[in-house]
A and B are shown apart, each in its own frame.
Chain A
Amino acid sequence: MALWVDKHRPKALQALDYHSEISERLESMSNTSSLPHLFFFGPSGAGKKTRIQALLKQLFGPTVLKTRLDSRTFETPTKRKIEINMITSSVHIELNPSDAGNYDRYIVQNVIKEIAQNHPLIQNKNVPFKVLVINEVDKLSKQAQAGLRRTMEKYTSVCRIILVGCNQSKVIDPLKSRCLGIRVSAPTVDEIASVLISTGQKENVSVPPTLASQIATLSGRNLRRALLMLESAHTQNPALDSTVKAPRCDWEEYIVKLAGEITGEQSPQKLLQAREMLYELLINCIPSSVIMKSLTIELLKNCDDSLKVEVVKWATFYEGRMNGGKEIFHLEAFVAKFMALYKEYLTNLFG
């Protein structure tokens, strides 16, 4: 049984729920058959992949949907075997070179270049090229990105490249200037709510508007997450009525609790307790930058404006130091720093 997210993913450009101006642009581009290289960027869960799929279907017809999983092994000059997976159809290939970590450069130089050089298998008069979708370009090393530069120019007659990434500024300028950038912004809370309700209708479940907007707010404007939350709410309680609360992830609840503990009392004992809670979060594979961000948001709720500036300043400071180091130290240092700031603030307030 497919998840609702996949089952009700729109397949055609016309069926997309929001960002109609992007759909129109993509549609007019696919008609002229002079598709430039594209670079889709935007936060996760905004619908980048859905739009690419719809665009490909518009270009090539239903053949795009018949995909299979291919894997390829190749050897780096240092005699290391690397395997990468790609999703292929007869007209397009989708791959994720950043999977190879440090060796992503070789994927760009070998695999992508080779794919780009060959002619498309099916000769289509209207669309004389095939499409290569490269995921997570923002995670590629600078070397690998540089490797794409000339490949993109040289083989344009037979191959178009679609880059997908979350962060536009992690892609080097020379690549960006070769592509037409398409920004897919996160859907608004209302848009998510209406998608939730219409998905409910397709599944014969009536979603109360209050629940829909509650989930939409909690999802942080991430449609995928909102749909998953809706489905999990539905599995827990098949009859969705207005009494059902939007399910929140355990770890989010846990961070709220942690923030409560920290603001409740500032003492070395609490710090020790906070350390245990932070360990618990880390053990459950919550990324440290996510912990830092969510914790800061929760802590800010109890601060006045001048204190907020200070708290964010130190959060950024410790988050910046975290990269590559032992994360627990920096999270703990932040908690200690916050305790100190908060205590000082309280003392000044009440004398």
Chain B
Amino acid sequence: MYDRGRAAQMQIDARTLEQGTTIEADVCIAGAGAAGMTIALDLLGSGLSVVLLESGGPARDDQNDALSEGRMTGIDTWDLRRMRIRALGGTTGHWNGWCRPLMRQDFEQHDHIPYSGWPLKYADVVPWFRKACRTLEIGEFQWDADERARATGKRLLPVSDIIEQRYYQFSPPTRFASKYGPVLAQASDVRVLTFANVVDVRLDDSRRRVDGFLCRTLTGTTFRVHAGRYVLALGGVENARVLLASRSQQREGVANGHDVVGRYFMEHPHYYRAIGGVHPSALDLGFYRRGESDWRRPDGSAVQMLGALGLAAEVSRRERLLNFSATFQAPGTAPSTPAPVVEDRLPPAAAQALVTRGRGGYETTLLTVRAEQSPMPDSRITLTAEVDALGMPRVALDWRIAPEDDVQMRRAMVLLARELGAKGLVRLRVPGDATRFVWRQDPGGHHMGATRMGRDPKVSVVDVNCRTHEVQNLYISGASVFTTGGDSNPTLTVVAFAHRLANTLRSERRQERSTG
């Protein structure tokens, strides 16, 4: 738990500030979740004074959580109030620790994925991924399944090279509040303000620079932070919400001259109980069950891992398919979602005849598939007329998935089924047909893309350095900057980009000093 006693030094409850206070700093970071805390930690000792604003306090509470409420107008995703945590550490307070980086192909431009192609390469991010591995307390930045199988003495399924073997690593999971909160609270150059909400991003007369964050508490205290640089690290929905709601000077909000903020919202469609399978009991799925890896943390605990199957990048490219990773559900685990979307008229007992052919037992399995979706401008966050207790407009989240995505994903599943069938390993059941898909898409709680990165301001909000195209001293951190989402859980990539942004801020500081 977060040690309030130890953390008292530089942590200020914003409700105790005098009305109208102005706080000065070199850098103001809004949001003390994985992204915001990572940036603040990296700026320690940089000579930059930092103010870190957090909407909540040390622990989650209903009043603050209610600020996140919004309306779902598209695919019904989990409610935002439950998904987001407004407290120190943000959503790391309840994440499950799944870590995999975005993959090399996820950064590339693909003709079959509209609006794809990041303005940087995978290799550019690798140093920051390595650092993020340490921050999230996982093993090395090493993702070669052959090597991991050798190191752990586990066996990979003998599939051909159309399948790419992958694995997840699991963070303990790192709870940022308890792990890093005390470090920040003791730091002399970071001030953490709790219960502080940004309600307006105020621009200077040129409209090209932020002049200050106007902040408010639920008790009615209003104050202002004035800094040289500003970072929004409020989460995938709130980053867009604050920009859209900051319309006191511009009707369209801030950094939204091309009406891009809030658009291209992406999730990771999760397909939990749709893909069934049967396989011989003797099939060794040890690599694909969550278990210990060969890596150990400094405290001696083992980093856990879980094997997965995807398609090789070349196959995805050739077949014009989105990325996905499939894991086998552990035997005996309760389904986490409601009943199957497809009535199972052909019982596994029938299908088992095909794989065992009377020789030995069989087991049924379910695959959980985590999939990529194409970015689309109509999948978006907008503001409603309803306001929260701070007077901020609530969001309407219209999450959409292109119909072509469903067809692509089904084709991908059939390719996987064919490969597993050819090797006599598993027979898969894939719902739907070539034109109609009946999978139910569940969200992953991964809110991506609504302030996406790119070179062209007409289809992106931030540049390669996470700086907004339109406002020179405003940066955004978090999954909202993802150009495309791949299929990997976003936290490792979010933290990697936070490290990278902190480095940018330090570099800019050095540059300013050297040029006087």
Whether A and B are associated in the same complex: the answer reads no
Question: B residues touching A (Cβ–Cβ < 8 Å)?
Answer: none
Question: A residues touching B (Cβ–Cβ < 8 Å)?
Answer: none
